[in-house]
A and B are shown apart, each in its own frame.
Chain A
Amino acid sequence: MYSCSDLKKGLKMMIDGDPHVIVQYDFTKPGKGQALYKCKLRNMISGSLFDRTYRSGESFEPAHLEEREMQYLYQDDNGYVFMDKKSFEQITLSEETLADDKYFLVDNMDVEILMHGDHGIGISLPNFVNLRVIQADPWVKGDTAAGNNKPATVETGYTLAVPSFVEEGTLIQIDTRTGEYSTRVKE
């Protein structure tokens, strides 16, 4: 079982028999009052969003979902298409279902599809993915301070802060749990 201190964005738990994922999380503690754990949850089957506030001492049943390893193929008008490499069966997940995970999909990448019966209701990404920078300001010569950053956009359209020495065309590693830059990748 999870306790309140396990609650965070991305955590999956069962509520009223359905798997839910926390899409937004906030911890508040007004003055000397009790801690409140405010969650925006998405029902992973129906897609409906709602807010719920929890208090210390409550516990939650983890959502154990069946996972199926599949390969990401491409994006089309209906969403993102994945294929089972053994049976060649294909599954399409909508943009809403993937939410921010869509930014971390690379063609031909293996991912775990979270299943509810025959339906894919989400994916489980590897902790790190490599993506190529397609837009970034050039490196100002002489800027060697390690902490200086600038925005960069990667091939999936995702924008993040990167060190000043990262240039267009650079392959970088991103931590999918935080969405943050990790390091450049040697090619």
Chain B
Amino acid sequence: MFIYTLHHLLENSAEKHPQSIAFRYLSEQISYQELNEKSDQIAHQLRLLNIKKGDRVGIYMPRCLHTVISVYGILKAGAAYVPLDPFSPISRTAFVVNDCNLEVVLTTKKQTKKIEKIALESPVLKSIVGIEESSTLQNVSWESVFKLSTDNFESENVLDDDIAYILYTSGSTGTPKGIVHTHRSGLQFVKLTTSLYNISNTDVIAMHAPLHFDPSTLGIFSAIYAGSTTVIVSDAETKMPKSLATLISDKKITIWFSVPLALIQLLRNGLVTKENGDSLRWVLFSGEVFITKYLKEVMQIWTQAKFSNIYGPTELNQCTYYNLETPPVNNDPIPIGYVWDNSEFKIIDANDKEVASGNIGELVVRSSTMMKGYWNNKQLTQKSFFIQEVVPGIPQVFYRTGDQVKLNDKGELLYLGRNDRQVKIRGYRIEIDEVENTINNHPNVVEAAVIVVQTNNENSLVAFVVAQNKSNLNSSELISFSKKHLPIYAVPNEVIILDDFPRTSSGKISRKQLKSTLISD
């Protein structure tokens, strides 16, 4: 069959090897055939709820098999899926529901109370699939969805240029922004990863990332294309190192993909062992820099596996890779490597001119895996693109990564940091401005400044706040306020209340001086 949408991947593989296991989660599993049938039933249900081609549908659940059935069901209905982080504050989730106009959300019974609260702030929300009773919302149970007939069911006429999914990430204005990917950009990622890592139907892929985090697309889509099995790592397993180590050996994982921190936690507890890494063929990592000394240690134990440093903002899916077969010889940071196939890059200066070879500049990338733009934000979309015209009216579009890079003498790209105020904490992307703007919204805050501090090679946030006179504002009040509006990884570790900020001669807050007060303590 001619494959040009993401759900074609499943339809094709279900025909070729219906009985193979597509996904495992704890002791549950689902075959390709069953996944194909159940996702048809979801698509059918979505049509009954009046979902049409081009609509968006939310997925609000912790990791489980229902997440992936829902992804394919939504795509087959011609809609785009929007993952909602089940552990995000209600107000932030409600913002996303309103921002991309989700009339239907798929969820699980345990989320009933939370979804009712979201609905209070989201008048657009009409129906919920997956809960059994609600006094306020129209609802359909999973049981009744999986009784629907799918005779004569046909997928929508979806083109590869249509929207497949929207992933929300930290935005500097104080509200999240939606990164829009099409079936084409998703499918190109699938084809490139499958060929780069030679994924086949004998592979077992560990999906450590949650659905709202873009590395999940390897387990959801590339694995299905290759006919392999994806193991969905449970939320509980991600938190208990020994359980995670056991999963790697018991499930005979051949391709591991996570943020470096997950592996570092195993390493620190002595849980990276020859035995548990026995079946590993590839260890892929992305999201932040893997400190070389730890990477070396892991590679010295899991000697039979190849390692790949994957780089790429969600806007590009993946775009560069650096593969290692033997541990690095010294402790220098490892390169982000080379752009992959069907992609090109430039390194530009502040005036958008290409820098001389070997000089530092911003990385801009043109790739088949690039997003369409930001949802409902034309201005930001335009700002994020670097456009070069072949002739007037025929543009070539590059994405401005905001990352500072340079080429070394081997022609490999080296990552040197950000040129703005974006940071990574535990692999999650955070705009410092979003954190500051959120705290500034507290009625008793005059001004806030957030800085990044490094302890044990890990980033954390400290907020300095000047409060209104006599407001008695304290730091625990501001921490709980932040928890109400920000995802947990973006909540400052510490809030320090000051009478006033140290300032530079031009009157700006001196972040340098703030930072030095912490170090001298």
- A complexed with B: no
- Interface residues of A, Cβ cutoff 8 Å to B: none
- Interface residues of B, Cβ cutoff 8 Å to A: none
